[in-house]
Amino acid sequence: MPTVNALSHVTLTVTDLEASTSWYERALGLRQGRSMSGHGWRRTLMVSDSGVVIGLQAHERTAAGDRFDEARVGLDHVSLACADRAEVQAWLTALDKADVAHSEISAAPANVATCNDPDGIPIEFFAPPSA
């Protein structure tokens, strides 16, 4: 059986595609890639300099007031890999400059900090405990 060794991309359902696109640019430094649409949906791919892709997708049938809930089946959070605690801190410094609220870095069981996108989806900055 082949081994899973990387993800191609993650696509997140959002309520306001334009607001989310702007937030991912400002908060994470992602740039807009290809946009596409189909019957009842629109998607914009957000791309990092390293090639990580986060798709943002708006569905017409998503309720305007809907909010993310990690207790529902599906996504719990998105975790971005950091080399060490210093890189997590660098993300927090960048989030401060972008005026994005975030947690402090926890030290156990790993070096972790989080922020939330406009729909409340947690974005985690994660470095192993030994780093």
DSSP structure class, residue 60: T
Residue 61 backbone dihedrals phi, psi, to 5 degrees: -85, -5
pLDDT score for 109: 84
User: Residue 69 to residues 13, 38, 83, 116: CA-CA distances in angstroms?
Assistant: 12, 26, 28, 12
pLDDT of 56 reads: 98
pLDDT at 88: 96
The DSSP letter of residue 62 is S
Buried b / exposed e along 1-15 (16+ C-beta atoms within 10 A): eeeeeeeeeeebbbb
Q: Report the pLDDT value the prediction gives residue 131, as an integer from 0 to 100.
A: 55
Per-residue pLDDT of the chain (131 residues; tens, 9 = 90+): 888 888 889 999 999 999 999 999 999 999 999 999 999 999 999 999 999 999 999 999 998 889 999 998 899 999 999 999 999 999 999 999 999 999 999 977 899 999 999 999 999 999 998 75
Q: Could you give all domains of the chain from N- to C-terminal order, each with its CATH number? A: 1-63 (3.10.180.10), 77-131 (3.10.180.10)
